[in-house]
Amino acid sequence: MILTSTDGQKNLPRYFATAFGVAQKGQNGRIDFAFDDGRIFRAEGPGAGPVCEVRIHDKGIFERLLREGQLGFCDAYLDGQWSTPDLQAFMDYIHADNEEVFDSFPGQKLVQIYEKFRFWMQRNSKGQARKNISYHYDLGNDFYGLWLDKTMTYSSAIFETGRETLEEAQTAKYASMVDQMGVKPGDHVLEIGCGWGGFAEYAAKERGLKVTCLTISNEQFKYAEDRIAAAGLQDMVTFKLQDYRDETGVYDGIASIEMFEAVGEKYWPSYFSTVFGRLKTGGQATLQIITVRDDRFEDYRKSVDFIQKYIFPGGMLPSPAVLRREAQKAGLDCVKSIEFGESYSKTLRLWHARFNDKWDQVEAMGFDERFRRMWNFYLTSCAATFHYANCDVTQITLSKPE
């Protein structure tokens, strides 16, 4: 039975009528709430958009939604209180310009304060930064190796046509970083946050650059050193297991790929001060950074989202305007930028498919169904966020004035 109103309906979960009323404000697409008794409540906007279904397994989730807000609804998914046959479709619906739905469940103030305090306690001092990075990246090289492409790259690729393989698109991203930086063969580049060494290998092998790489992840440090040794590039690439704030050298260029997101707002000035100090006069730094929309930044910075709680503790995104302002405050000039959010959406959708294709092997490593739901939630929500431009990704190039 498909219903478009709760009027006259009995035995509904507490606060469902309120939640359904909010869903009815959505402008694009359709969402169905399916209950075990066969009733389906449908909210459909006037505009075309994604179609999704939410299956209710615990009637307490709507009370949780009002009490804990969006984050509580996310937690309820991890706890198995609701499910959906197509999680990506649900995420696409939420982000498809349905801002009335997106913004209507902030949660109770006390819960917000608790989550913000917990997040604040994870801010990225040097010691805490190492713990926060380990939380995500030290899950194990074998885990990431199962579903990343051969380059072992865990950041947005650049798809020019959409027909490239993931490996080709990741290599295109590396090429763009070097091109935007404007460095030439023989130049010495500092990479702040080197991942598993993919950029360093490309820059040394394909572009003739000398690269010094910084990481605070033990797992990535070991993998990257072995990778460069296997490629015979030890004379061109050096890895340091240290915080970026402890670096003292001066370089022809600086590269940093999606490391800034883990810095934390309190330490943005330190980050850009380091970029300024480590860059030669006249040199350029190209930074690949995820951004949140300017008009959503203030609301975003006051809350704690699913990614900050479960995936990247201590992390914080800038908006484009805030990013440029922070760089300029450190004395850097903003030269140019390219944006490619849709490429990130495609990258994430490919990761999501590859992760689930390899689930049997991931599970054999000791990861459980809750972990699977958490990662699926993370990957699909991010894919939708980039597709509908609530977030973007940029390669911004900064210069140190003569």
At 86-105, the pLDDT tens digits run 999 999 998 887 766 656 54
Q: Which residue has the higher pLDDT, 105 or 365?
A: 365
Q: In this structure, what token pair is assigned to residue 2? A: 């498909």
At 299-326, the pLDDT tens digits run 888 877 778 778 777 788 999 999 999 9
Angstrom distance (rounded) from CA 224 to CA 197: 5
Token look-up 């699977």 returns: 372
At 272-303, the pLDDT tens digits run 999 999 999 999 999 999 999 999 999 888 87
Token look-up 């000035």 returns: 269
- Mean of the per-residue pLDDT values of the chain: 90
The predicted structure's pLDDT at residue 109:
39
Burial class for 240, CB neighbours closer than 10 Å (0-12, 13-18, 19+): middle
Residue 213 a catalytic site member: no
Spot the catalytic one: 52, 194, 382, 391. 382
Task: Please list, in sequence order, all residues whose beta carbon lies within 8 angstroms of the beta carbon of residue 371, skipping any fewer than 6 positions away.
Answer: none
Cβ atoms of 170 and 198 closer than 8 Å: yes
Go through the domains of the chain in sequence order and give each one's CATH number.
2-107 (3.30.1050), 126-399 (3.40.50.150)
Angstrom distance (rounded) from CA 67 to CA 70: 9
Residue 3 has pLDDT above 70, yes or no: yes
Per DSSP, which regions of 76-144 are E strands? 82-83
Nearest alpha carbon to residue 272 among 352, 354, 330: 330
The predicted structure's pLDDT at residue 135:
44
Q: In this structure, what token pair is assigned to residue 161? A: 């046509």
Cβ atoms of 224 and 152 closer than 8 Å: no
